[in-house]
Structure 1
């Protein structure tokens, strides 16, 4: 039984397709060898990525479409680990230059012949840059320019959020809850969830996607998933003795409350955000039509599958 069954995240779909998931993982593994990140994929355990992509995108056009989104997911994984205190992480002082190179890699930047070799050497030596260069190249093969631009814009926001975290680390400072929740609207699962139309072969009109009320609903959905992540990752945050990346630990320290109470408070905030998103999904669909409704329903499905991923993935399972 899920210890956090009070979370309002909808249950994930049950129509698993093991054969398709295996094909996606095989494609992902071949791509990882091609661009030089295979060792990383071996470390984080590839098993389960294909199944997550299939569940999150049940109406995917093809295995190729699923594999492309899986590549973006892995690149986001690597970005997150680059900012963490682990074997792949960099120091806070090194983080912004690394994110700058990542941004240089994903944007259609100008290549000056005099500096091209230096750029290639530096970005080629970065796991983050290799992953995003490969992922974005694959994405451009199946996505429209505006869909790819949507991800680039979201990544720029994500990188600003990571920069905020590096400031906490450089200052050896634990942020108050209000600041943490502000930063988590920038550094969230937003990038991972915003391309369901790419997988399913349709395109949400940018004039709808960039409506402020649509963006607000999507940010609420992404933040809800991050608070869910805080709940399932609590044991790991406790082991790292860090409160900078966990709302329950921040609330417990800031308000002098028991950790169990802080977890309940975090779940309440998660549920408030989920309820807001579902209400907005219905309202926005009625106001703007079925394509936006389909897109927002795909986002809700992604939230459900991401929770399933947290329940079943070794990354979030406390060692016995």
Structure 2
């Protein structure tokens, strides 16, 4: 059997580091080679970043470490910069802001089918007092192409939705969502990796948990079988065919299986395993919320935030490197500082959803937990005050996310780390953009 060769996506470093500091950076030639494939990044020291009590990541590089004469000064300067305001770090984290957006693209990027149309006014109103960053309007040609392809996949390839759901599917505007969140995707094919997974994840939520037939009763069994579409079963020859047949038994499993098959064709094994882990976290959060629904339990605010750290958007920004066509090495991704950044990114993105979907959920059948509802009930305050307090919670999380990402960028200025942090920050901003502009789904409460 011929050798299939390397994965299409190659790591930007020759070897992942066991920990930050000298071990992350001793492969100086590898770092230089990786840097050669990236646009020039701004120097780390020097402008204000909206810090909120950032705790710098301590990095110690012995003077006699291999390559220390080359790397150590930069690490020390970066660590010092984490304690001081830095506009360069702000630029790294903020991502596209109009002019110079092309700097996000480290390699050849396919041409759009047609020149982008002039920017239209942004739809929807942002939540007053919410801390967020505007993003450029996503490339309309890419939005249209992703929208066309994902509908073909959902309707014809996996038969995910019945015909009478077409309006809701169109109203989701998933093409605009994914193009806004992944402006550094080199091709539409890369964008489709994220788009299929996003649609499949929402289908599981709709069919298993929410209004389109979802129920907390039996949820664990359904999620367990669905998870095997992402994390394949390894069983005996006698029972393997029955499991394989079950993957096509219902729409969510068909979608999960198909989306994952496309994903693993582009991802490295470590990226695929990372994604499976984050999806297990998501399913654990679904189960917690379902258990509370069965017992009619309103959690304490801190308990609700625990649940939201698992039932959240984290699987989406965690694949930003796959969609961008590179890899953040597994050992760098697994570092506690990086895990904290990713957790905060998922948390803040999910609270955005709580805030923008507030009126939609109040109008829906049944009782829906979201942060303003939980704050109002548990802290005994008016709905308006609870909503405004939830905005403050979001803002605190957003400041923490930016401060931790800036500290990590300064402490470990490896090109793949910097690009990944920038990509996660862009995803957070694109997620807000989509919620703000999706007036088909969301409207704001009359609290101002």
Structure with the largest fraction of helix? 1
| CA distance, structure 2, for counterparts of residue 38 and residue 180 of structure 1 | 31
Q: Which residue of 1 aligns with 2:202?
A: 77
- In the superposition, relative to structure 1, how do residues 137 and 99 fare at CA in structure 2: closer, same or farther (>3 Å)? same
Q: Which residue of 1 aligns with 2:238?
A: 114
Q: Which runs of 5+ in 1 are unaligned?
A: none
Residue aligned with 1:184, SS: helix
Given the alignment, which residue of 371, 380, 385 partners 1:247? 371
Q: CA RMSD in A?
A: 2.0
- In the superposition, relative to structure 1, how do residues 263 and 242 fare at CA in structure 2: closer, same or farther (>3 Å)? farther
Q: Does 1:29 align with 2:151?
A: yes
Q: Which residue of 2 aligns with 1:6?
A: 129
Superposition deviation, residue 244 in structure 1: 5.0
Given the alignment, which residue of 136, 145, 162 partners 1:39? 162
Q: Which runs of 5+ in 2 are unaligned?
A: 1-123
Q: More displaced, 41-50 or 100-109?
A: 41-50
| CA distance, structure 2, for counterparts of residue 38 and residue 167 of structure 1 | 27
Given the alignment, which residue of 310, 329, 352 partners 1:228? 352
Given the alignment, which residue of 57, 61, 71 partners 2:186? 61
Q: Which residue of 2 aligns with 1:19?
A: 141
Quick check: 1:310–1:316 contact (8 Å CA) kept in 2?
Answer: yes
Q: Which residue of 2 aligns with 1:203?
A: 327
Superposition deviation, residue 206 in structure 1: 1.1
Per-residue deviation, residues 127-161 of structure 1 (Å, max 9, x unmatched)? 22111100100001111111111110000111111
Superposition deviation, residue 5 in structure 1: 3.0
Q: Which residue of 1 aligns with 2:220?
A: 96
| CA distance, structure 2, for counterparts of residue 264 and residue 109 of structure 1 | 46
Per-residue deviation, residues 247-298 of structure 1 (Å, max 9, x unmatched)? 1111111111111111111111111111111111111011111321211111
Quick check: 2:208–2:222 contact (8 Å CA) kept in 1?
Answer: no
The structure that has the greater radius of gyration is 2
Report the number of matched residues.
317
Q: Does 1:273 align with 2:273?
A: no
Residue aligned with 2:424, SS: helix
- In the superposition, relative to structure 1, how do residues 195 and 88 fare at CA in structure 2: closer, same or farther (>3 Å)? same
Given the alignment, which residue of 143, 148, 152 partners 2:272? 148
| CA distance, structure 1, for counterparts of residue 368 and residue 307 of structure 2 | 11
| CA distance, structure 1, for counterparts of residue 252 and residue 444 of structure 2 | 27
Given the alignment, which residue of 337, 340, 349 partners 1:216? 340
Given the alignment, which residue of 82, 86, 89 partners 2:211? 86
Q: Which residue of 2 aligns with 1:160?
A: 284
| CA distance, structure 1, for counterparts of residue 270 and residue 136 of structure 2 | 29
Superposition deviation, residue 316 in structure 1: 2.2
Q: Does 1:316 align with 2:442?
A: yes
Quick check: 1:13–1:305 contact (8 Å CA) kept in 2?
Answer: no
Superposition deviation, residue 43 in structure 1: 4.9
| CA distance, structure 2, for counterparts of residue 2 and residue 22 of structure 1 | 23
Once superposed, which parts of structure 1, at least 4 consecutive aligned residues long, lie more than 6 Å away? none
Which structure is richer in relative contact order (CA contacts within 8 A, separation 6 or more)? 2
Given the alignment, which residue of 411, 421, 424 partners 1:296? 421
Q: TM-score, normalised by structure 1?
A: 0.92
Quick check: 1:83–1:162 contact (8 Å CA) kept in 2?
Answer: no
